[in-house]
Amino acid sequence: MPLQTFSQDYLTDLLAHEIAPYDGYSRRVVNVTLTAGSTIPMGTVVFRAIDKTDQTAPYAPVTAANAATALVDTNEFAVVFGDKWKAMPVITAEATGDTPCVSFVRGEVQLKDHLIMESLEITDRDSDEYKALKGLLEAQGIIIEKTLDQVPFGA
């Protein structure tokens, strides 16, 4: 039987540690505005203007193109990890464009940074975008931790 390559994407690719996940304190389903039929990967950071009166106000993805204007302290953030039901490696937008996504919205949670960095096309942890993102997420109690650059086998 020939060797086959397949990928297994798990929530643990993003999540390092969560206090009492069974309570769901750190999680909420948020509305994300996407183009119908488009997809976003697990670890996508979404933002909206801080709105303490309407939890249904939609979020939009932070991208490499809008990072400078999105990563500001007048916005609030969430890190998407699935559709409205479960963790998924890729989330497909609904036909209406308003897509419910389960996301981390507040602490106590620690996330691995590699999926977040991939979704924002950040390659340098010393970049302004990474530093801003890390600080803004920490203000919400979402800690992002450095992912190992390589598995230390045979090192």
pLDDT tens digits along 32-72: 999 998 999 999 999 999 988 888 899 999 999 999 999 99
User: At 59, phi and psi to the nearest 5?
Assistant: -100, 165
Q: What pLDDT does 70 receive?
A: 96
Q: Which residues touch 131 (CB under 8 Å, ≥6 apart)?
A: none
Q: What pLDDT does 23 receive?
A: 85
Dihedral sign computed on CA atoms, order 55, 52, 82, 61? positive
Decide: helix, strand or coil at residue 89.
coil
Q: What pLDDT does 152 receive?
A: 46
Q: Name the percent of the chain lying above pLDDT 90.
A: 72
Structure tokens at 23: 């309570």
Which is higher by pLDDT, 10 or 7? 10
Instruction: Answer yes or no: is pLDDT of 153 > 50.
Output: no
Dihedral sign computed on CA atoms, order 81, 84, 88, 89? negative
Q: What's the longest Cα–Cα distance across the chain?
A: 58
